[in-house]
Structure 1
Amino acid sequence: MTVTQRRGRKIMMTPGELDEFLTTQRTCRVATVSASGAPHVSALWFAWDGKSLWLYSVVRSQRWKDLSRDPRVAVVVDSGEEYDQLRGVELRGTVEFVGEVPRTGELVAELDYIETVFARKNFGLDEMPHDGRHAWARLTPTKIASWDFRKLGSA
């Protein structure tokens, strides 16, 4: 995916920086639209495969209900405490559900890689534990915006 960003080019992450950031961060904030039209934002662990953000969500959550009804989503991954350390990425698009809902561990070749990445990153395991409560939603973003305020000091 090509990242185009009109404003903030000075602080925009390079493709390599963006990939490294999304690979190493653990928590994102997922914004969905409820049936009433009200926004709903919640924190969630994720995994990045270089082109898609994979969300592993409880299927009985408000987030999952919203995405099942309307797959449009915005996700923010950010870090930093002080202003000159803030950095992050906003990804927008629609999700696709992958695998069984809820996930019980059936063989799904498309999930092999991402479940290994997710299990190692979040649980320190080589195999994904399946609890029959979660399922996968894949966001292949149509728009990405990024910022790294640390770059302001080097201008």
Structure 2
Amino acid sequence: MATTDHTQRRGRRIMMTDAERDTYLAGQRVCRVATVSADGAPHVGALWFVWDGASLWLYSITRSRRWAQLRKDPRLAVVVDDGVEYGELRGVELSGTAEFVGEAPRTGEPCPELDAPEGLFARKYFGMTQLPHDGRHAWLRLTPDAIASWDFRKLADL
């Protein structure tokens, strides 16, 4: 995984530290996921996610355009951001290759690799200890090749 120390060329004064980024991603609820169709047309959609400190886990509907596009071309970019006024803007952009993890669609078959992200997801979005499986979603893991972050609130300190 690329760290924020040397991968971000512009805006070093406003980039988040690794700890700030991890806290930020743990607290945010919605990301925007960009994929590419076979003809090169982009597609962007909102999705729930969890961050485990190394990978972004996306729980996607398997009959979605996103899923079909990633099956053909697994490259994706994800943005998590917030803020209204200029001095409040902050966010993280992650890019890399999607990995499909577990059965698709997910029905709850044992998959030790999914124990941690499913626990995080269940607590974050449902206030539960175990994720209910609906037979429509499955897991994508993005272990980013590149990460860029910004926190314009840091400009007030300059």
TM-score range for the pair, normalised by the shorter chain length: over 0.9
Match of 1:83 in 2: 86
Q: How does 1:1-150 map to 2 (within 5 A)?
A: 1=1, 2-3=3-4, 4-150=7-153
CA displacement at 1:150 relative to structure 2: 0.3
CA displacement 1:114-138 (0-9 Å, x = unmatched): 1000010011111101000000000
Q: Distance in 1 between matches of 2:149 and 2:41?
A: 25
Gapped runs of 5+ residues in structure 1? none
Aligned residues: 155
| Superposition CA RMSD, Å | 0.6
**Secondary structure at 1:68's aligned position in 2?**
helix
CA displacement at 1:37 relative to structure 2: 1.0
TM-score (norm 2): 0.96
CA displacement 1:37-80 (0-9 Å, x = unmatched): 10000000000000000000000000001111100000000011
**Secondary structure at 1:93's aligned position in 2?**
strand
Q: Distance in 1 between matches of 2:144 and 2:40?
A: 22
**Secondary structure at 1:36's aligned position in 2?**
coil
Give the counterpart letter for 1:44 in structure 2: L
**Secondary structure at 2:12's aligned position in 1?**
coil
TM-score (norm 1): 0.98
Give the counterpart letter for 1:113 in structure 2: A
CA displacement at 1:35 relative to structure 2: 1.9
CA displacement at 1:24 relative to structure 2: 1.0
